[in-house]
Amino acid sequence: MTNENIVWHQQTVSKEQKQAQKGHRPALLWYTGLSGSGKSTIANAVEAELFRLGCHTYLLDGDNVRMGLNKDLSFSDADREENIRRIGEVAKLFVDAGVIVSSAFISPFEADRASARSRLNDGEFVEIFIDTPIEVCEARDPKGLYKKARAGEIPNFTGISSAFESPKKPEIHIHTQHHSIAQSVELIVSYLRSKQIIK
Ligand SMILES: Nc1ncnc2c1ncn2[C@@H]1O[C@H](COP(=O)(O)OS(=O)(=O)O)[C@@H](OP(=O)(O)O)[C@H]1O
Ligand SMILES: Nc1ncnc2c1ncn2[C@@H]1O[C@H](COP(=O)(O)OP(=O)(O)O)[C@@H](O)[C@H]1O
Protein backbone atom coordinates (compact mmCIF):
# COMPACT_ATOMS: atom_id res chain seq x y z
CA MET A 1 0.00 0.00 0.00
CA THR A 2 1.33 3.49 -0.83
CA ASN A 3 0.07 6.78 0.54
CA GLU A 4 0.44 9.93 -1.55
CA ASN A 5 0.18 12.08 1.60
CA ILE A 6 3.43 10.74 3.05
CA VAL A 7 6.52 12.74 2.03
CA TRP A 8 10.14 11.58 2.46
CA HIS A 9 11.91 13.80 5.04
CA GLN A 10 15.54 14.74 4.40
CA GLN A 11 17.57 14.34 7.61
CA THR A 12 19.97 17.00 8.90
CA VAL A 13 22.87 14.68 9.77
CA SER A 14 23.79 12.79 6.59
CA LYS A 15 24.79 9.15 6.19
CA GLU A 16 28.23 10.38 5.02
CA GLN A 17 28.72 12.37 8.24
CA LYS A 18 27.82 9.33 10.33
CA GLN A 19 30.24 7.21 8.30
CA ALA A 20 33.09 9.69 8.79
CA GLN A 21 32.50 9.69 12.54
CA LYS A 22 32.71 5.89 12.72
CA GLY A 23 35.90 5.40 10.68
CA HIS A 24 34.46 2.59 8.54
CA ARG A 25 31.85 2.28 5.82
CA PRO A 26 28.42 0.82 6.55
CA ALA A 27 27.47 -2.55 5.08
CA LEU A 28 24.91 -5.31 5.29
CA LEU A 29 26.49 -8.75 5.68
CA TRP A 30 23.68 -10.99 4.46
CA TYR A 31 24.24 -14.61 5.52
CA THR A 32 22.08 -17.20 3.77
CA GLY A 33 21.99 -20.98 4.07
CA LEU A 34 20.09 -23.98 5.40
CA SER A 35 19.16 -24.39 9.05
CA GLY A 36 22.26 -25.69 10.82
CA SER A 37 24.58 -24.58 8.02
CA GLY A 38 26.51 -22.26 10.37
CA LYS A 39 25.02 -18.81 9.67
CA SER A 40 24.62 -17.85 13.32
CA THR A 41 27.94 -19.30 14.43
CA ILE A 42 29.92 -17.51 11.72
CA ALA A 43 27.94 -14.25 11.94
CA ASN A 44 28.59 -14.09 15.69
CA ALA A 45 32.30 -14.83 15.26
CA VAL A 46 32.65 -12.18 12.53
CA GLU A 47 30.76 -9.63 14.61
CA ALA A 48 33.04 -10.32 17.59
CA GLU A 49 36.11 -9.71 15.40
CA LEU A 50 34.67 -6.50 13.90
CA PHE A 51 33.78 -5.29 17.39
CA ARG A 52 37.33 -6.04 18.53
CA LEU A 53 38.58 -3.94 15.59
CA GLY A 54 36.48 -1.01 16.84
CA CYS A 55 33.64 -1.21 14.29
CA HIS A 56 30.04 -0.34 15.12
CA THR A 57 28.04 -3.51 14.53
CA TYR A 58 24.64 -5.08 15.00
CA LEU A 59 23.44 -8.64 14.40
CA LEU A 60 19.89 -9.47 13.37
CA ASP A 61 19.48 -13.17 14.09
CA GLY A 62 16.74 -15.50 12.78
CA ASP A 63 15.14 -16.96 15.88
CA ASN A 64 15.44 -13.71 17.85
CA VAL A 65 13.70 -11.56 15.22
CA ARG A 66 10.98 -14.20 14.86
CA MET A 67 10.33 -13.96 18.61
CA GLY A 68 9.74 -10.18 18.39
CA LEU A 69 9.27 -8.05 15.29
CA ASN A 70 8.15 -10.99 13.14
CA LYS A 71 6.34 -13.15 15.66
CA ASP A 72 3.16 -13.00 13.58
CA LEU A 73 4.84 -14.81 10.66
CA SER A 74 4.83 -18.54 9.82
CA PHE A 75 7.09 -20.51 7.47
CA SER A 76 4.76 -20.41 4.45
CA ASP A 77 6.40 -19.00 1.29
CA ALA A 78 4.40 -15.77 1.63
CA ASP A 79 5.37 -15.27 5.27
CA ARG A 80 9.05 -16.00 4.56
CA GLU A 81 8.87 -13.31 1.87
CA GLU A 82 7.38 -10.84 4.37
CA ASN A 83 9.96 -11.90 7.00
CA ILE A 84 12.81 -11.05 4.62
CA ARG A 85 11.14 -7.83 3.42
CA ARG A 86 10.90 -6.49 6.97
CA ILE A 87 14.44 -7.58 7.81
CA GLY A 88 15.71 -5.87 4.65
CA GLU A 89 13.98 -2.65 5.69
CA VAL A 90 15.30 -2.80 9.26
CA ALA A 91 18.81 -3.58 8.01
CA LYS A 92 18.64 -0.57 5.70
CA LEU A 93 17.95 1.66 8.72
CA PHE A 94 21.11 0.32 10.37
CA VAL A 95 23.10 0.95 7.19
CA ASP A 96 21.72 4.51 7.11
CA ALA A 97 22.98 4.84 10.70
CA GLY A 98 26.49 3.92 9.48
CA VAL A 99 26.57 0.49 11.11
CA ILE A 100 27.98 -2.81 9.80
CA VAL A 101 24.84 -4.91 10.25
CA SER A 102 24.72 -8.68 9.86
CA SER A 103 21.60 -10.71 9.16
CA ALA A 104 21.51 -14.47 9.67
CA PHE A 105 18.31 -15.83 8.13
CA ILE A 106 17.75 -18.81 5.87
CA SER A 107 16.33 -16.35 3.28
CA PRO A 108 15.68 -19.20 0.84
CA PHE A 109 14.34 -17.22 -2.12
CA GLU A 110 16.56 -15.47 -4.66
CA ALA A 111 13.96 -12.76 -5.41
CA ASP A 112 13.69 -11.76 -1.74
CA ARG A 113 17.47 -11.54 -1.32
CA ALA A 114 17.66 -9.49 -4.55
CA SER A 115 15.02 -7.17 -3.19
CA ALA A 116 17.00 -6.61 0.04
CA ARG A 117 20.09 -5.92 -2.10
CA SER A 118 18.22 -3.43 -4.28
CA ARG A 119 17.42 -1.18 -1.29
CA LEU A 120 21.11 -0.42 -0.73
CA ASN A 121 23.86 1.38 -2.65
CA ASP A 122 26.33 -0.60 -4.77
CA GLY A 123 28.85 -2.43 -2.62
CA GLU A 124 26.88 -2.15 0.61
CA PHE A 125 25.15 -5.54 0.32
CA VAL A 126 27.52 -8.44 0.88
CA GLU A 127 25.86 -11.80 0.28
CA ILE A 128 27.58 -14.61 2.17
CA PHE A 129 26.47 -18.10 1.18
CA ILE A 130 27.04 -20.56 4.02
CA ASP A 131 27.08 -23.59 1.78
CA THR A 132 26.70 -26.73 3.84
CA PRO A 133 25.13 -29.86 2.30
CA ILE A 134 21.84 -30.87 3.88
CA GLU A 135 23.32 -34.22 4.99
CA VAL A 136 25.89 -32.32 7.08
CA CYS A 137 23.25 -29.93 8.51
CA GLU A 138 21.09 -32.91 9.34
CA ALA A 139 23.95 -34.75 11.05
CA ARG A 140 24.69 -31.61 13.13
CA ASP A 141 21.00 -30.96 13.86
CA PRO A 142 21.91 -28.48 16.65
CA LYS A 143 18.25 -27.84 17.58
CA GLY A 144 16.84 -31.31 16.79
CA LEU A 145 14.63 -29.76 14.07
CA TYR A 146 15.65 -32.08 11.20
CA LYS A 147 14.66 -35.08 13.32
CA LYS A 148 11.26 -33.51 13.94
CA ALA A 149 10.88 -32.48 10.28
CA ARG A 150 11.67 -36.05 9.08
CA ALA A 151 9.07 -37.31 11.54
CA GLY A 152 6.54 -35.01 9.86
CA GLU A 153 6.23 -32.78 12.93
CA ILE A 154 7.39 -29.55 11.18
CA PRO A 155 5.65 -28.63 7.92
CA ASN A 156 7.44 -26.59 5.22
CA PHE A 157 10.90 -27.34 6.56
CA THR A 158 13.65 -25.86 4.37
CA GLY A 159 15.55 -28.50 2.39
CA ILE A 160 12.95 -31.18 3.17
CA SER A 161 9.50 -29.85 2.35
CA SER A 162 10.30 -26.25 1.37
CA ALA A 163 12.74 -24.95 -1.24
CA PHE A 164 16.16 -23.36 -0.83
CA GLU A 165 17.40 -21.47 -3.90
CA SER A 166 21.20 -21.30 -3.74
CA PRO A 167 22.74 -17.88 -4.50
CA LYS A 168 24.25 -17.82 -8.00
CA LYS A 169 26.85 -15.09 -7.46
CA PRO A 170 27.37 -14.48 -3.74
CA GLU A 171 30.13 -12.03 -2.83
CA ILE A 172 31.53 -14.68 -0.47
CA HIS A 173 31.06 -18.46 -0.68
CA ILE A 174 31.85 -20.45 2.46
CA HIS A 175 32.02 -24.26 2.53
CA THR A 176 31.90 -25.17 6.21
CA GLN A 177 33.08 -28.70 5.48
CA HIS A 178 36.39 -27.22 4.30
CA HIS A 179 36.54 -23.88 6.17
CA SER A 180 36.89 -23.81 9.94
CA ILE A 181 35.03 -21.05 11.79
CA ALA A 182 38.31 -19.12 12.15
CA GLN A 183 39.05 -19.47 8.41
CA SER A 184 35.56 -18.23 7.55
CA VAL A 185 36.06 -15.18 9.78
CA GLU A 186 39.38 -14.48 8.07
CA LEU A 187 37.82 -14.78 4.58
CA ILE A 188 34.99 -12.39 5.43
CA VAL A 189 37.14 -9.81 7.25
CA SER A 190 39.69 -9.90 4.38
CA TYR A 191 36.89 -9.27 1.89
CA LEU A 192 35.72 -6.24 3.90
CA ARG A 193 39.30 -4.89 3.92
CA SER A 194 39.73 -5.49 0.18
CA LYS A 195 36.57 -3.46 -0.51
CA GLN A 196 37.70 -0.75 1.95
CA ILE A 197 34.59 -1.20 4.08
CA ILE A 198 36.99 -1.48 7.02
CA LYS A 199 40.64 -0.37 7.24
N1 LIG B 1 9.70 -24.86 8.76
C2 LIG B 1 10.90 -24.35 9.09
N3 LIG B 1 11.86 -24.22 8.14
C4 LIG B 1 13.05 -23.70 8.47
N5 LIG B 1 13.40 -23.27 9.72
C6 LIG B 1 12.46 -23.38 10.69
C7 LIG B 1 11.19 -23.93 10.42
N8 LIG B 1 10.48 -23.92 11.59
C9 LIG B 1 11.27 -23.38 12.53
N10 LIG B 1 12.47 -23.06 12.01
C11 LIG B 1 13.51 -22.35 12.78
O12 LIG B 1 13.43 -21.00 12.32
C13 LIG B 1 14.70 -20.55 11.85
C14 LIG B 1 14.61 -19.98 10.44
O15 LIG B 1 13.97 -18.73 10.46
P16 LIG B 1 14.31 -17.68 9.33
O17 LIG B 1 13.58 -16.45 9.71
O18 LIG B 1 15.77 -17.60 9.15
O19 LIG B 1 13.66 -18.37 8.03
S20 LIG B 1 13.31 -17.70 6.63
O21 LIG B 1 14.44 -16.83 6.25
O22 LIG B 1 12.07 -16.93 6.78
O23 LIG B 1 13.13 -18.83 5.71
C24 LIG B 1 15.61 -21.75 11.81
O25 LIG B 1 16.78 -21.26 12.42
P26 LIG B 1 18.26 -21.56 11.88
O27 LIG B 1 18.46 -22.99 12.26
O28 LIG B 1 19.11 -20.62 12.67
O29 LIG B 1 18.34 -21.30 10.42
C30 LIG B 1 14.91 -22.81 12.62
O31 LIG B 1 15.46 -22.84 13.93
N1 LIG C 1 33.13 -24.96 10.05
C2 LIG C 1 32.00 -24.65 10.72
N3 LIG C 1 31.43 -23.43 10.53
C4 LIG C 1 30.29 -23.10 11.19
N5 LIG C 1 29.64 -23.93 12.06
C6 LIG C 1 30.17 -25.16 12.26
C7 LIG C 1 31.36 -25.56 11.60
N8 LIG C 1 31.63 -26.83 11.97
C9 LIG C 1 30.68 -27.19 12.84
N10 LIG C 1 29.79 -26.19 13.03
C11 LIG C 1 28.62 -26.27 13.95
O12 LIG C 1 27.43 -26.27 13.17
C13 LIG C 1 26.37 -25.71 13.93
C14 LIG C 1 25.74 -24.60 13.10
O15 LIG C 1 24.64 -24.06 13.82
P16 LIG C 1 24.15 -22.58 13.61
O17 LIG C 1 25.30 -21.64 13.57
O18 LIG C 1 23.07 -22.35 14.62
O19 LIG C 1 23.53 -22.67 12.13
P20 LIG C 1 22.38 -21.78 11.48
O21 LIG C 1 22.40 -20.43 12.12
O22 LIG C 1 22.73 -21.74 10.02
O23 LIG C 1 21.11 -22.54 11.74
C24 LIG C 1 26.97 -25.19 15.24
O25 LIG C 1 26.74 -26.13 16.24
C26 LIG C 1 28.47 -25.09 14.89
O27 LIG C 1 29.30 -25.25 16.03
pLDDT digits (tens, 9 = 90+) for 21-39: 999 999 999 999 999 999 9
Q: Has residue 164 got a pLDDT over 90?
A: yes
The strand pair at 57-61 and 172-175 is best described as unpaired
Cα 124 from Cα 196, distance rounded (Å): 11
Cα 112 from Cα 122, distance rounded (Å): 17
User: Is residue 102 helix, strand or coil?
Assistant: strand
The verdict on residue 127 lying in a domain is yes
Q: Is the CB of residue 129 below 6 angstroms from any atom belonging to ligand 1? A: no
Cα 151 from Cα 188, distance rounded (Å): 36
Q: What pLDDT, on the 0 to 100 scale, is given for residue 139?
A: 98
Q: What is the domain-level CATH number for residue 80?
A: 3.40.50.300
Q: Is the CB of residue 80 below 6 angstroms from any atom belonging to ligand 1? A: yes
What torsion, rounded to 10 degrees, do the Cα atoms 117, 80, 95, 111 define?
0
Q: What pLDDT, on the 0 to 100 scale, is given for residue 4?
A: 87
Binding-site entries: 33-40
Count of domains forming the chain? 1
The closest-lying atom of ligand 2 relative to the alpha carbon of residue 106 is 22
Q: Is the CB of residue 153 below 6 angstroms from any atom belonging to ligand 1? A: no
Q: Between residues 8 and 151, which one has the greater pLDDT?
A: 151
Q: Decide: pTM greater than 0.95.
A: yes
The verdict on residue 3 lying in a domain is no
Q: Is 161 left (phi over 0), alpha (psi -120 to 50) or beta?
A: alpha
Q: What pLDDT, on the 0 to 100 scale, is given for residue 73?
A: 97
Q: How far is the CA of 26 from the centre of ligand 1 (A)?
A: 27
Structural domain harbouring 133 = 15-194
The verdict on residue 45 lying in a domain is yes
Q: How far is the CA of 17 from the centre of ligand 2 (A)?
A: 37
pLDDT digits (tens, 9 = 90+) for 36-84: 999 999 999 999 999 999 999 999 987 789 999 999 999 999 999 999 9
Binding-site entries for ATP: 33-40
> Under 8 Å CB-to-CB from 123, ≥6 apart: which residues?
27, 195, 197
Q: How far is the CA of 192 from the centre of ligand 1 (A)?
A: 27
The strand pair at 57-61 and 100-104 is best described as parallel
Q: Is the CB of residue 106 below 6 angstroms from any atom belonging to ligand 1? A: yes
The verdict on residue 58 lying in a domain is yes
Q: Has residue 1 got a pLDDT over 70?
A: no
pLDDT tier for residue 94 given thresholds of 50, 70 and 90: very high
The closest-lying atom of ligand 1 relative to the alpha carbon of residue 79 is 22
The verdict on residue 53 lying in a domain is yes
The verdict on residue 7 lying in a domain is no
Segment 3-30 shows an average pLDDT of 91
By percentage, how much of the chain surpasses pLDDT 70? 99
pLDDT digits (tens, 9 = 90+) for 102-145: 999 999 999 999 999 999 999 999 999 999 999 999 999 999 99
The verdict on residue 6 lying in a domain is no
Cα 146 from Cα 134, distance rounded (Å): 10
Q: What pLDDT, on the 0 to 100 scale, is given for residue 180?
A: 98
The answer to whether the CB of 140 falls within 8 A of the CB of 41 is: no
For the chain, strand residue ranges (E) read: 27-32, 57-61, 100-104, 125-131, 172-175
The verdict on residue 85 lying in a domain is yes
Cα 187 from Cα 118, distance rounded (Å): 24
Q: What pLDDT, on the 0 to 100 scale, is given for residue 43?
A: 98
The closest-lying atom of ligand 1 relative to the alpha carbon of residue 65 is 17
